[in-house]
Every structure is written in structure tokens, then in C-alpha cells.
């Protein structure tokens, strides 16, 4: 059964200390807090976690710590994507050994790989790790690194069971849906309702960290057919995200989570720190929409 990963998965952020090391104490407390919500899983070591700014051993340590402190029976997906296939395989094997339910990987960026090279990247990983794989399709430019034919070939593999579709191209999402009974996660939070409408079976999101209940309620409203409620929640989410974009999304999210009592620290460099004006804007947002 390929379509077995559905619902709300928080793209877990990483708390850092002043030396940019993982703050284990805060991570433990934060995970315990999030487990109080009716979520289906964590997506660990992705963009929100700032994992691509970490060394491989740091990423493996993050996998270990999240597994250690996730005491509730939810699914864990480890993002192991790397410019190096060898590194991705190594991290994938480690995540599987820890007991993660699935691995995920973004297409290696920078070099502009051919479709055959993209296929080889994923097939090499799943051939070595032999574990469920969630493709990470991230196309901030709007141009997906995948063709539909490439998707078709990927999903013919027994281990490739789903996709995190972080793209504004929802027509492509619908086309992917037609390829088979696979798990499709909406990736852009501001398009959650639209993604569900076009065939997504759940969502993996960054802003779920600051407002998990809103996404749980949106998902529930959509599945129960209450589109008016779902649209109202999505409108509120979009209003909040607009402010986050104005101030810087990841630094803003960390600041807002810190206001809930979890000192997430600053984002890794080269991310800039929030200005005093940014913090005033976010304080107002927190009081009006998130407290």
C-alpha cells in the first residue's frame, strides 16, 4: 500500500544555542509540546530545520534526538537529501536503523541534473536503503526539476510511495495524483486548501510550528465538506504568512515559537537576525492572531 502517509506533518524546526549547536533541552520540550496536538507526523531535517546548513553528522544527530523524544505513536520522515548520493544513502540507512517510517530527499541543486540523473539519484538511494521514500519536489522558481514522465518512472518503484509537492503548480499536483495511489503532501502552506482540493492527501509545513491547530482544523473541515470553514481558516493563515514574509519567514517562526516558551535561538548564518521593527510587528501578530 503506497498511500499510507496522510494528514498533518509538522516540518520540525531546530533550536540552536549561541554556538549554532542543537539545543537538545529545548528540542525535547518542544517536541513534547507538539505531541499534544492531533498531528500525524514530523518531517525531520528539511528546509525548516535548516538541515542543509548542517554537516551530515549534525543531521544524523538531529534524527537521533527527534526519535528519542517522540514518545507518541506518530510517523517520522527523515529528509536525507544531499548534493552527494553517498551522503544521502548514509543518512538514509541511519534513519532506517533508528526506526524512521520513511526517508525523503530533495533533488540535488546547483548542477542542473538531467532527468536520467535525477532518476539515478533516487533509484540509487532506495536500492541501497530499501525504505519508503517521499520525493521532495521544491520549485521556488516555479520550474519543477521533474517532468511528468520522470514522476511516472519514479512511482513505478515499490519504495517510492509519495511526494512533498512544494510548488505553486497545482495542475502538476493533479497530474501526479493521476499516476497512482500515492501519498501527496502539499508543501506551500498558503496553498493548503487549494492543494487538498487538487488531490493532496495531507500537508507538510513550516508554519505548522506556530499554528498547528489551524492546519488540523482546516484539514478536518475540508475532509468533512465544510468548505466555508476551511476557506475562512485558509484566509487567516494567508494573512499571517504575509506578515512572516515581510519580516523573514524562518527567523519570524523561531521568534514566535520562542514566545510560547521555547527558546529556539537564531537561525544559522547567513540568515539575518530580526530587527527591532520586525519584532514589534511580530509581537502584534502574536497577540492578535496566535496567542
| Catalytic positions | 136, 164
Other Cβ atoms within 10 Å of 42 Cβ, number: 26
Q: What would the DSSP string read from start to end of 253-266?
A: HHHHHHTTT----P
* Residue 36 phi, psi dihedral angles, 5° rounding: -75, -20
Instruction: Give kind and range of the element (H or E) at residue 8.
Output: strand 7-11
Nearest Cα to Cα of residue 9 among 252, 225, 238, 187: 187
Identify the three-state secondary structure at position 199: coil
Identify the three-state secondary structure at position 27: helix
Identify the three-state secondary structure at position 184: strand
DSSP assignment letter at 289: I
Cell representation of residue 131: 525504505
Q: What is the C-alpha to C-alpha distance for residues 138 and 121, in angstroms, rounded to an integer?
A: 16
Chain position carrying cell 519536489: 137
Asked if residues 186 and 136 have their Cβ atoms less than 8 Å apart, the reply is no
Q: How far is CA 209 from CA 9, 33, 135, in A?
A: 10, 11, 22
Amino acid at each position: 500500500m503506497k498511500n499510507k502517509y496522510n494528514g498533518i506533518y509538522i516540518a520540525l524546526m531546530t533550536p540552536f544555542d549561541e554556538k549554532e549547536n542543537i539545543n537538545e533541552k529545548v528540542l525535547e520540550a518542544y517536541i513534547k509540546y507538539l505531541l499534544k496536538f492531533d498531528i500525524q507526523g514530523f518531517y525531520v531535517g528539511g528546509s525548516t530545520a535548516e538541515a542543509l546548513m548542517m554537516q551530515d553528522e549534525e543531521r544524523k544527530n538531529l534524527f537521533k534526538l527527534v526519535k528519542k523524544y517522540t514518545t507518541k505513536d506518530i510517523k517520522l520522515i527523515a529528509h536525507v537529501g544531499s548534493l552527494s548520493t553517498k551522503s544521502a544513502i548514509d543518512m538514509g540507512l541511519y534513519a532506517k536503523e533508528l526506526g524512521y517510517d520513511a526517508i525523503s530527499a530533495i533533488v540535488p541543486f546547483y548542477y542542473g541534473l538531467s532527468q536520467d540523473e535525477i532518476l539515478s539519484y533516487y533509484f540509487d538511494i532506495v536500492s541501497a536503503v530499501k525504505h519508503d521514500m517521499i520525493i521532495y519536489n521544491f520549485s521556488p522558481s516555479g520550474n519543477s526539476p521533474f517532468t511528468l514522465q520522470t514522476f511516472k518512472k519514479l512511482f513505478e518503484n515499490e519504495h517510492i510511495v509519495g511526494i512533498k509537492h512544494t510548488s505553486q503548480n497545482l495542475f502538476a499536483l493533479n497530474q501526479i495524483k493521476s499516476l497512482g495511489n500515492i501519498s501527496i503532501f502539499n508543501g506551500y502552506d498558503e496553498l493548503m486548501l487549494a492543494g487538498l482540493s487538487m488531490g493532496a492527501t495531507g500537508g507538510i509545513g513550516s508554519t505548522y510550528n506556530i499554528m498547528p491547530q489551524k492546519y488540523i482544523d482546516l484539514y478536518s473541515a475540508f475532509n468533512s465538506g465544510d468548505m466555508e470553514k476551511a476557506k475562512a481558516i485558509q484566509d487567516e493563515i494567508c494573512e499571517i504568512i504575509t506578515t512572516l514574509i515581510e519580516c523573514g519567514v524562518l527567523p519570524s517562526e523561531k521568534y514566535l515559537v520562542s514566545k510560547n516558551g521555547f527558546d529556539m535561538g537564531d537561525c544559522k548564518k547567513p540568515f539575518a537576525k530580526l530587527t527591532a521593527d520586525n519584532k514589534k510587528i511580530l509581537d502584534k501578530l502574536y497577540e492578535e492572531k496566535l496567542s
